[in-house]
Amino acid sequence: MKILLVNKFYYRRGGDCVVVLNTEALLRDMGHEVAVFSMNYPDNLPCEQQDYFASEVQFAGGIGAKVAALRRTLGQGDVVAQFKRLLHDFAPDVVHLHNIHSYISPVVAQLAHEAGCRVVWTLHDYKLLCPSYACQRDGKPCELCFHDKSHVVRTRCMKGSLAASVIAWLEAKKWNRKVLERYTHTFICPSQFMADKMRQGGFDPAKLKVLCNFVDPEKLARFEQTDTAQRSDYYCYVGRLSEEKGVEALLEAAAALPFKLMVAGGGPLEAELRQRYGDRPNITFLGMVDGERVATLLAGARCSVMPSRCYDNNPLGVIESLCSGTPVVGTPMGGIPELVAKDHGIVTADCTPAAIAAALHNAFERKWDYNAIKQESLKLFSPETHYQKLLNIYSS
């Protein structure tokens, strides 16, 4: 097949970008011809199709920049001509969309559909249901916009800004459910939870397929080589240090526990959390660490913890922990409970420090079959397993 991948950035910026780059490598390894469409951006990796990329737009800056950004969200400007040119020159069988809102625009779904391509869209967030992406307001889950997108303006959920919220509402009105369903053959939901929410938001169940993310071969090789038997007396958190990830509740629980916590990652709360908890003898902040260090950290832990307060879709942190044979203590949010099966971890009663602490006590008391967790997860989240399911979606 000839497959065109579309994502608004083309470097390892976040989870969506990691999935795109891993998918590109996987498809090429399986013999498919792959092209990429994105937005020009200074940090992008070299790409054979970069001359086709849409021009960069910025939502910060002067009135000219804001107008250009608004036009992009509505599917206007050079993105149309550039994408049409690539469709003509590459002639893909499948156009696989990823994170395209705002910086690319769903107009590419329309153009691909009109060109006779099969359009598949992997959903990395809840943008099609919630104009501000996260289904969260005032630190709590919110579903007001599932059936009435004007709530984003009333509550100013988009960055706390009226202007940004109005733009998000206009975008949602332009690219509404009926329009997107018309141009998209299949929406890939990385979790059953997301598929259920999409149905709740009125999307056609026949267009929804559940396909979990996979671990890239390089990381998978590291996990395969780690020794599951050698466990140290600590647990760990690997991820972003931000409010929606529930790290504050975790650290409050950790401060009162006798176990040692290793925290790997950075984010907007890092400085504040280091100031508040950095002197605790049982809490160590490691900052950003590379893939090899993450694999070693996870493989040596008694358990890892995912304390999210948001609708976490299909967190790679959980998947990678399980592939190292390390059970996960996770909150009952989003797709986390699906990943933390009966023998692979513990789901907390809620997102409070007390519930997290109780689950961690339980995790340290239990005898885990680390090797069984590892072997089952390596197969479940392997590129080969993912590829066979993805190929079925492309072909069906």
Q: Which of 267, 257, 220, 219 has its CA nearest to residue 235?
A: 257
Mean pLDDT of 94-119: 96
Structural tokens at position 341: 């099966």
Tell me how many degrees the CA angle 202-170-195 measures, rounded to the nearest 5: 25
Answer for the pair 108, 81: CB distance below 8 angstroms, yes or no.
Answer: no
pLDDT at 1 over 90: yes
Three-state DSSP class for 5?
A: strand
Q: Which CATH code is given to the segment(s) 2-214+382-395?
A: 3.40.50.2000
At residue 61 the predicted structure's pLDDT band, cuts being 50, 70 and 90, is confident
Q: Which helix (H) or strand (E) holds 251?
A: helix 247-255
Tokens standing for 138?
């005032």
pLDDT value of residue 197: 97
pLDDT band at 380 (very low <50, low <70, confident <90, very high): very high
Contact 105, 74 (CB under 8 A): yes
Identical topology for domains 2-214+382-395 and 217-380: yes
Strand order in the sheet with 94-97: 33-37, 2-6, 94-97, 118-122, 186-189, 208-210
Domain range list for the chain: 2-214+382-395, 217-380
**Which tens digit of pLDDT belongs to each residue from 284-300?**
999 999 888 998 999 99
Confidence (pLDDT) at 227: 78
pLDDT at 273: 97
What's the whole-number mean pLDDT along residues 22-47? 97
Write down the architecture of domain 217-380 according to CATH: 3-Layer(aba) Sandwich (3.40)
Give pTM, 2 decimals.
0.91
In this predicted structure, the answer to whether residue 324 has a pLDDT above a threshold of 80 is: yes
